[in-house]
Amino acid sequence: MFSFLKADPKKKLNKEYGELLEKAMQAQRGGDIRLYSELTEKAEAVKAKMDALSAST
């Protein structure tokens, strides 16, 4: 009945994905390739969750 009040998990994941990619880009520009790799890996995990939610809907 009040489903419109629930937060959209896709929106949250999309925001997290964008933030991780932004941090990864800044790390790469700063020369910290290890941090860049870690953040990119986390971003890919979030992307996989987003794809799984899209497939189940």
Residue at 2 is within a domain: no
Tally of CB atoms within 10 A around 28: 15
25 belongs to a structural domain: yes
For residue range 2-50, list pLDDT tens digits in order.
677 777 889 999 999 999 999 999 999 999 999 999 999 999 999 999 9
Asked whether residue 1 is domain-assigned, the answer is no
- Say yes or no to pLDDT of 56 above 90: no
What residues contact 23, with CB distance under 8 A and at least 6 apart?
39
50 touches 24 (CB < 8 A) = no
Residue 16 placed within a domain: yes
What domain range includes position 14?
A: 8-56
- In a domain, residue 14? The reply is yes
Q: Give the pTM.
A: 0.83
For position 6, what pLDDT does the model report? 77
- Counting the structural domains of the chain, the total is 1
- Report the C-alpha gap between 6 and 25 in whole angstroms: 32
Task: Give strand ranges (E) for 1-57.
Answer: none
pLDDT given at position 22: 98
